A = this chain, B = another copy of it.
Amino acid sequence: MTNTKQIWINFVQQLQDAICAALEQCDGKATFKEDKWERPEGGGGKTRVIANGNVFEKGGVNTSIVFGEVTPLMRQQLKIDGHSWFACGLSLVIHPINPFVPTVHCNYRMFELYNEAGEVMDRWFGGGTDLTPYYLIDEDAIHFHQTYKDACDKSDPSFFPSFKKHCDDYFVNTHRGNERRGIGGIFYDYQRVGDNKPVEFWINLAKDCGYAFMDAYVPIVEKRKHTPYNDAHKHWQEIRRGRYVEFNLVHDRGTIFGLKTNGRIESILMSLPPTVRFEYNYQPIAGSEEDKLLQACLQPKEWV
């Protein structure tokens, strides 16, 4: 195994451990249960799921190391060429109970393509973390974006504005008048070695952003997890979770690819929220706190 591969795998697995430990401490009751799974065509993963905690209603922090031959479907859907491939990444989605604690998603991955001799033909990095609040608290939105700006700035000050825009442009329910899933964060993809950017550069970016999760998200949870809420707040959270389901099942490239290519279904769909509501033509009252969140999803804002 190449050194790069091993460095990346170590990073991903250590990040999984660190995030799970931080979230368990934050929850104070539930712990992650691990399912190790194998992929018949090559590789496997560790799915870690938390449920029915003090703070977290449902969540997963998954890693996978998968590889195989490039299939015709991959050629067509991923627009890639080559003989074989390797992918390794971490993916998490956390759905808290309290509607004042936002849902969060993150994903950091490396993809390698090989020729018939097994030499690396291409390699790229992707990743990002985005926040899906149910109620907009400006202070939390600013803290979240500032943390990722600081993390990105260590690598390149031009990254944050461009990754923020990429995130706002990707997590969109186009079928709902371009309503975003949440208030964004950062998202980057297809980042390759080149110019003054050796492989270590991209691994360091992923490390900085990956570990920033603890600083970006955990303090928001700590600050909001005891906020009192009522049935109306929960109702709104479940309506918004419906939009999360719509995005993940209709638009998310990773989910759709997994579903169409016989991925491990329970690991892919662990991202879906625990309880969800779909009501015909539900509209929040203009000017309400619910509407304020909706407007922020319709018109992304520069938080920092």
Contacts and interface: CB of A to CB of B under 8 A. Distances in A.
- Nearest 6 pairs between A and B by C-beta? A272-B278, A249-B249, A175-B259, A276-B276, A266-B281, A49-B280
A256 B251 CA distance: 10
A277 interface: yes
A98 to B, nearest CB: 18
Nearest to A265: B175
Interface in A226-270: 238, 242, 245-246, 249-250, 256, 259-260, 262, 265-266, 269-270
Given A269-B278, A273-B278, 7 more contacts: A58-B278, A58-B279, A58-B280, A175-B262, A245-B249, A266-B281, A274-B278
Contact of A274 (B176, B246, B269, B277): B277
Contact of A256 (B176, B245, B250, B278): B250
A162 interface: no
Interface in A197-229: none
Contacts of A272: 242, 278
A41 to B, nearest CB: 16
Interface residues of A, number: 31
A274 B279 contact: yes
A260 B60 contact: no
B278 A276 contact: yes
Contact of A249 (B250, B266, B270): B250
Contacts of A249: 245-246, 249-250
A275 interface: yes
A156 interface: no
Given A175-B265, A249-B245, A249-B250, A275 B274 contact: no
Interface string A36-63: 0000000000000101000000101000
Nearest to A246: B249
A245 B250 CA distance: 11
Contacts of A276: 245, 275-278
A257 B49 CA distance: 34
Max chain B C-beta neighbours (<10 A), residue from A49, A242, A270, A272: A272
Interface string A145-180: 000000000000000000000000000000110000
Given A250-B259, A260-B175, A266 B245 contact: no
Contacts of A189: none
Contact of A51 (B49, B275, B280): B280
A17 interface: no
